[in-house]
Chain A
Amino acid sequence: MSAAILAGLTGAALVGLGLYGLLTDPHPLRKILAFNILGSGVFLLFGIIARKGAAAGFAADPVPQAMVITGIVVAFSATALAVTLLLRLFQETRRATLEPDAPAKTPDAGVDG
């Protein structure tokens, strides 16, 4: 088994794990973690594609590598934003779940208009 195939299988496994967690786990923090696992799988995939040098016959295609770096920055910001929202939600309500479905039910009781 070549290194590229091993990396590819690892990437696919990470994507699968992340997707499963993102879809099935109700807890927001675990969803955020699952998103990061899924993202890592995608970045690994980009790495393999860079190795393939699909674009111009380079030994290693630089474009996917640039994309991974950008992608990591974006995923990091997304995680930071999500964790901040979750922390704030916890501070306000003392719970870190999205259940029960509160948003629609309590529209205007004691809210500043």
Chain B
Amino acid sequence: MLAMALALATTGGGYLLVLAVIVPVIGMLLSLVVGGRHAERIAFALMPAGLGLALAIAIEVWVTGQPLVYILGGWPPPLGIALRADGFSAVMLVTAALVIAAAGYFARGGFATPPGVAEKRAPLAFWTLLQGLWAALAVVFLGGDLFNLYVALELLTFAAVPLVCLDGRPETLAAALRYLLFALFGSVLYLLGAALLYGTYGTLDIVLLADRTAAEPLVAPAVGFAAGLMTAGLLAKTALFPLHLWLPPAHANAPPPASAVLSALVVKASFFLIVRLWFDVMPGLASAAVTTLLAALGAAAILFGSVLALRQARLKLLIAYSTVAQIGYLFLMFPLAIGGHPWSAEAWSGGVMQTLSHAFAKAAMFLAAGVVYEQLGHDRIAELRGIGRAMPMAIFAFGLGGLSLMGLPPSGGFAAKWLLMQASVESGQWAWAVVMLVGGLLAGGYVYRVVAPALDRATVALKAPASRRREAVALALALGAVLLGFAPPEFFDLLQIGRPVAMAALR
């Protein structure tokens, strides 16, 4: 009851949550007003502020040991809307701020308009969309109301889809349209589910819903149906196998900084909501059948995505299919982390760790591929021999990112997969551990396909001079993925704050 009361009133530091949403929105609106020539400067002025806010939220959550809450306009739910930040939200906010800042720094100059030249649409679009995407991500991570989250997801889609087709080539337009149609299909299913939930329980506030579903779990068949619809819709947006068809063309054809943000963060937003739905809103409904189905789809995604990544001829498509595979790992946490078993906390940490480390590793790999593309004028894997000498940092970044995807120490990916594997062994669900091992081997295969020829002795003809700054950005992100492997125990304590079962044990 105490936790209930806490979740329905603004806590100290709650204003930080509002600022975290407003700062990127201000940037987006200002950029629209002042135009593409100055949009970049505005973005760079606000990125440190956003990162600082995200860090402040994480510290506040960690220090108080309780989720932060802000009740908008002083109207408590069910009438009003709450913003809430638990440990998972806080680390996702920090990751989003870091990856977006890195992608922005990578893009610096790429969308610049020299003085005296007529302004084009791409710079304005890129910087406003990037900040719009950031704002939408913040709402997704902080939103406490399922309808509010629907709006946030749609905003995210509207920012992400045009990023895919910034250069206006026909194939990118087709990829963007396909992405949009999948996303709309997903969001309308989610909305239908939300309507049914509201009809049954009379609220869409996550904490109130959790309370009411716990009191009367299956009050109507509509609830199970709603959960199914919402999950299916979110799976389409997360691109979990077999709903992944839109992802490879969209992520592989976008400009490199956009690909990095899409693969690292945007697909995680809908995954984040699936976690919210099953762990926070209706844990009582998450039967073994449901969680096993999600994990089985995840296992299929790991095998299918990795094998397809092995067969790609283009570097960016290889990385995109690897995203399909790595998304699969995220869903292995469902049968392992649900409930209050001794291994649940471990599996939860593993799942969150996989979300974070994949974000850093994949962003690094897409940016590294962007450097390769920029300098060679193509990204055909068969013709990458010897590029390691021309762009050592980019290839090193790609390799380090790959290390995390494979799950080799020291890296965040290793910590994630180790925790998940331990949980699967302790819980007696061996099959998932086997899938993870096979997935790691396959990941090793596709990373080797790129890194081995790159390190060959051969001369390559470069189309453009190497940009050390861009290589360094990719490398910094890859080092972030490695550093996660050295996370101290306090970090894992932070991840547990707000986890429903963990909080129940505290009470």
A interface residue numbers (CB < 8 A to B): 15, 18, 22, 28, 31-32, 35, 38-39, 42, 45-46, 48-49, 52, 54-56, 61, 63-64, 67, 70-71, 74, 77-78, 81-82, 85-86, 88-89, 92-93, 98, 102-104, 106-108, 111-113
Contacts and interface: CB of A to CB of B under 8 A. Distances in A.
Given A45-B195, A74-B151, 6 more contacts: A35-B188, A49-B195, A49-B198, A81-B161, A88-B165, A102-B170
Contact of B464 (A38, A85, A88, A113): A113
B154 A74 contact: yes
Q: How large is the interface on B (under 10, 10 to 19, 20 to 34, 35 or more residues)?
A: 35 or more
B interface SS class:
helix
A92 B168 contact: yes
Nearest to A89: B173
A82 B177 contact: yes
Contact of A67 (B147, B158, B185): B147
A112 B167 contact: yes
A24 to B, nearest CB: 12
B167 A103 contact: no
20 contacts: A22-B185, A38-B188, A45-B192, A45-B199, A52-B199, A67-B198, A71-B191, A77-B158, A78-B154, A78-B158, A78-B187, A92-B169, A92-B170, A98-B178, A103-B172, A104-B249, A107-B317, A108-B378, A111-B169, A113-B373
Nearest to A62: B79
Nearest to B147: A67
Given A98-B177, A108-B379, A113-B464, A89 B192 contact: no
A60 B171 CA distance: 48
A42 B186 CA distance: 13
B181 interface: yes
B162 to A, nearest CB: 8
A74 B200 CA distance: 24
B174 A102 contact: yes
Most buried by B among A38, A85, A113: A85
Nearest to B181: A31
A28 B181 contact: yes
B453 interface: no
A98 B463 contact: no
Contacts of B374: 113
Contacts of A55: 78, 198, 202-203
Given A98-B178, A111-B169, A113-B373, A103 B253 contact: yes
A54 B200 contact: yes
Contacts of A31: 181
A42 B249 contact: no
A interface SS class:
helix
A102 B374 CA distance: 22
A42 B195 CA distance: 7
B248 interface: yes
Contact of A104 (B177, B317, B378): B317
B332 to A, nearest CB: 28
B180 A82 contact: yes
Given A45-B195, A78-B184, A108-B377, A85 B154 contact: no
Contacts of B151: 70, 74
Interface string B224-248: 0000000000000000000000001
B338 interface: no
A64 B197 CA distance: 11
A103 B165 contact: no
B175 interface: yes
B78 A54 contact: no
Contact of B174 (A22, A56, A98): A98
B373 A82 contact: no
Nearest to A107: B314
Nearest to A48: B199
Nearest to A61: B202
A108 B252 CA distance: 12
Contacts of A32: 181
